[in-house]
Amino acid sequence: MVTTKEYTRQEVALRDGKNGAQTWIIIRDVVYDVTTYLEDHPGGGELITEFAGKDGTRDFDDFGHSGTAMNLLKQFKIGELNMCDRAKFQKQGSEWLPDGACVLPPKKRSKRRRFIFCG
């Protein structure tokens, strides 16, 4: 069975391209290691390093990258964001607890917090 590696946003943030660190970038909850691609980027390496260790989804989409760019991206995929850190759940207010569990706030008219992932 092939399992997809999962990362937290915190782990990705360490790969900010500084002091010899790799350059990772998040696009639509997927984590890419683009360290070796920087010099080849038609928009220049700096446009990507600006988002090193961060979520570049909005800016990547804003430019309107072609299908070629999307295909190219696939080869740099190293994993996905951990459930708790995915955009959809963050929007709902997901929160890490100190023991590594992840919870969502209760739904309206409910007192129960919703556990979505236990790390």
Which residue among 56, 81, 85, 117 contacts ligand HEM (CB under 6 A)? Answer: 56
- Does 117 participate in binding ligand HEM (rule CB under 6 A)? no
**Beta strand residue intervals within 1-92, DSSP E:** 6-7, 24-27, 30-33, 77-81
Terminal Cα distance for the chain, rounded: 20
Of 5-13, 64-72, 92-100, 102-110, the window that binds ligand HEM (rule: CB under 6 A) is 64-72
Which residue among 30, 37, 101, 113 contacts ligand HEM (CB under 6 A)? Answer: 37
Q: Which residues contact 82 (CB under 8 A, 6 or more apart)?
A: 6, 7, 8, 102, 117, 119
- Asked if 82 and 89 touch (Cβ cutoff 8 Å), the reply is no
Please say which residue, 53 or 117, places its beta carbon nearer to ligand HEM. Answer: 53
Query: In this structure, how many other beta carbons lie within 10 angstroms of the beta carbon of residue 26?
Result: 24
Q: How far is the CB of 29 from ligand HEM (least distance, A)?
A: 14
Within 74-103, the residues that bind ligand HEM by CB under 6 A are 76
Count of residues engaged in binding ligand HEM, rule: CB under 6 A: 20
- Does 113 participate in binding ligand HEM (rule CB under 6 A)? no
Fill in the DSSP letter of residue 100: S
Query: In this structure, how many other beta carbons lie within 10 angstroms of the beta carbon of residue 84?
Result: 24
Q: Which residues bind ligand HEM (CB under 6 A)?
A: 25, 34, 37, 41-43, 47-48, 51, 56, 59-60, 63, 65-66, 68-69, 72-73, 76
